[in-house]
Structure 1
């Protein structure tokens, strides 16, 4: 793809954050969550929006869906009828009692207003209990949209008052489609292997894919595989596969050298190496026994690293255990 405006577009890539510039404005613009979008649109069309609970990993459309609902209900006046709070910053009971109650009381004209509480699973138990009572008290004129990563951390009385929507990681096709659309809009030349690398690095997170695209676009004229892996500190899948295969074949020295390169030259964190191994286990062509053995070692290393153990020591121990004959 060639565009005479490409140099000018490339020079302007840092002037605006693309995840905001290209954030979908309407529900129908959201990629990869078609079933959820369809259900939410039916609520709006029937003018019967309940309290909502959105759960799922980062970058899959939870916040975007919330703002899109407000835009479709209120139009240009949506900001005045939409209160957004981040519970990870304001975790105490006072936030629920003060800011949310003050906003809920100020509704007018018989219409309901929307309170969006992001990262609601960060609220303390007392704050969630206060929120439950507030939801009851202002149910006539306020709708709550709660966003979280894990519904298990939300108390049952709140869950039972909400329609629960579970957002899944975005498909490779959805991420690739959005990346190509943005590349065309910005006049960026991107190769097919560059798109594949962005999709792989994103792992279902649209926000990460778009941020990576913007960063890669500032490094050169063409966004290709090499540029993407350089700016995302992500290992090529073949490097991970080679490291594990060498370990399973008993060549610990070679596997350790690959690991050292990933940690020191690529700049990867130990947890990222674990994540990539886990994502790719079933793509290595291993026998079922070898795959099970690898998963057992990965789980042990992940736990130890999460508990504060030295990352390099644990990853080398993982490779050593794979190299030992049973």
Structure 2
């Protein structure tokens, strides 16, 4: 890759780096070598089964699906690869109409086409049942690749027809390596603490790390810790630690003030604070009993916020419970 110059700087705001640096081959997908090697063996043997990719966002599920198509079909991959997002098209019609139409259409030179159904766990039960029948009907000339966040939301008849691959959050080393490679390719100066902040904010999500790097770089200057935390609306680990420590010490008013600072001044969403609390519990130096108590309260608060409760009220109630020792 050629090094970016000052003349290239305006283009940084127009080009989406998650697409520019998306791996084109399975061997370039980082952090899941045990999965990509098995997928490559299917392609080498020309024996690709239906696939189910399960895991959190930004870990390589879509990238792996597209890479499979590119390795199987080469330059003709777009004509033989249909990508649908089930969260946009949840009903049974998408299974009956678009998928069947693509599976039935004529094509030459290949034994099968690939249909990639992203966020398949958003499909209704009726749509999944229709999909199961469609998979059976067109198994001779179509391969399905399904991706989801939670495989438990996919009905058993579909899971049993697929080779299931579970993508875990990416390791810090893989995220750091990619961030440094992109920064070098774009000619961006990133400090070590800036890289650490990107890795922390991403929490195993490569897409979030790359988007954070691009957003910080567009502002100009060196990408450091301060720029990353500001652009990603992420609380510093020490801020989360201070808030919880104050509550555990019985200083509810001070802990509440810190929470208000994070929610109002820094603009951090309540569910993001819950995620950071969950990640940081074992870094607070608590004994096991206290850590278990904090984790239990975090879980209860997370459930209530997810169910639609007011996030500020619930987070303040969490701090009050910790301050009271309950």
2:274 maps to 274
Q: Which residue of 2 aligns with 1:7?
A: 6
Deviations 1:23-52 (A, max 9, x none): 100001111111101110111111110000
Residue 286 of structure 1 corresponds to which residue in structure 2?
286
Q: Is the 8 A contact 2:3 2:184 kept in 1?
A: no
1:131 alignment counterpart: 131
Partner Cα distance (2:5, 2:229) in 1: 22
**Distance in 2 separating the partners of 1:296 and 1:268:** 22
The question of whether the paired residues in 2 share the 8 Å contact of 1:9 and 1:187 is answered with: no
- Distance in 1, matches of 2:3 and 2:116, equals 43
Asked if 1:252 corresponds to 2:252, the answer is yes
Unpaired stretches in structure 1, ≥5 consecutive residues: none
Shift of 1:226: 0.3
Q: How does 1:142-291 map to 2 (within 5 A)?
A: 142-291=142-291
Q: After superposing the two structures, state which structure 1 stretch, 10-19 or 157-166, moved more.
A: 10-19
- For residues 220-267 of structure 1, the C-alpha deviation after alignment (integer angstroms, 9 at most, x for no partner) is 210000000000110000000011111111111211111110011100
Post-superposition shift, 1:323? Answer: 1.1
- Aligned to 1:35, the other structure's residue is in SS state helix
Partner of 1:306: 306
Matched with 1:74 is: 73
> Take 1:243 and 1:181, find their aligned partners in 2: how far apart are those partners?
35
Give the secondary structure class of the aligned counterpart of 2:127: helix
Please tell me whether the aligned partners of residues 217 and 223 of structure 2 are also in contact (alpha carbons under 8 angstroms).
yes
- Deviating beyond 4 angstroms after TM superposition, the runs of 4 or more aligned structure 1 residues are 3-6
Give 1:42's aligned residue.
41
- Normalised to the residue count of structure 1, the TM-score between the two structures is 0.96
Q: Deviations over 1:161-218 (max 9, x none)?
A: 1000000000011111111110011000001100000000011111111111000001
Aligned partners of 1:84 and 1:24: how far apart in 2?
17
TM-score w.r.t. structure 2 length?
0.96
Deviation for aligned residue 1:66: 0.3
CA RMSD after TM alignment: 1.4
Residue 309 of structure 1 and its aligned partner are, at CA, apart by 1.8
Confirm or deny: 8 A CA contact 1:25 1:68 kept in the other structure: yes
